Structure 1
Amino acid sequence: MFIKRILALLMILVSGYGVAAAQESQATVTGEWELVKIETRLLAQQDNQVLEEKTLTKQEEFKTVTGFVPVKVEVNGETCKITNAAGFTETGKYRIGGKGVLLYQKSERHLPQQEIPGQPAFEAPYLPYKYKMQSSGILVLELPRSSFMDTGRNLPVVQECTGYYKKKQ
């Protein structure tokens, strides 16, 4: 009986620590972030051979990256607003999904609206973004990979991007 009580107390303490750590992480990413650097890697889709690596630091260069690359991220409470280099903005919800993972869910207005009578409304899945905070206060986001046909090389490729964001003062 005594061991069961100790185990129950230990479980309560551990779960409380997990909640406190998640709240601390959410507070860390709260605010308005602007892209200051992006690192890209272009890989051959067939064998993952690295074809090209770039580091971009100018706003004009960010527009040349294929895929949806957030240049501005605003996090407030559970809401998140993301703007890309072309000025397209989408909103949604976010939460911390564990150590180093930020989960983002697009809002319903960005989803196809096909409701089926008697069925619950479709809800977008949470997309995982690996993240870390550097000691200098830079938020590092590993962006989703994008696949496309590189017409210059006539080769299907995959692009990996890592964005570095500075908190707007």
Structure 2
Amino acid sequence: MMKFITYIHVYLIQTLLNVLPFLWIDVFYDNQTYIGNQLHHPIYLFLWACSSAVGFYYYSKKIWEKYDISYNKKNHALICLGMILSCSIPYNDITLFKDLHVWLSILFVAAFIVEWFLYIPIALNKNSTLFFINIGLSFLFTFMFGHITGFCEIYFSFTTNILLHHWMLQD
């Protein structure tokens, strides 16, 4: 039953949540927080963040358990919860807090990537190589567009969850 639910998550929920921004914004300029704050769709933003973070949390956990890798369970949970929290912070005109949601998102996604560098060697197998190539492409898109755009967020969320899901289900 859980396997079926993960397929629903990755191929239906993630797809739907990552296609909607293409209908609302210029994904190559604006980002997801623009949808939540300026277009007044905070529930969408929260659902997108939850779906992404739950996938990152659950699929990573299952992969690390499959390889009997000792990982910090509390840190992993806090990092994924932090991703959701960062997307829940509204835009603020106060200079100090203006981009807090952006910097916290960057911090928690970076922590997630660092976790993977700590726990899974790049040369472990084909899946780990694909995972790290995906991270490299995510960075490339960010630098190519000059900032974190909706496309960068969508790409990372969608492809990372698909890759992790596929890896988790392999024997």
Structure 2-normalised TM-score? Answer: 0.25
Structure number with higher helix proportion: 2
Structure 1-normalised TM-score? Answer: 0.25
- The structure number with the bigger radius of gyration is 1
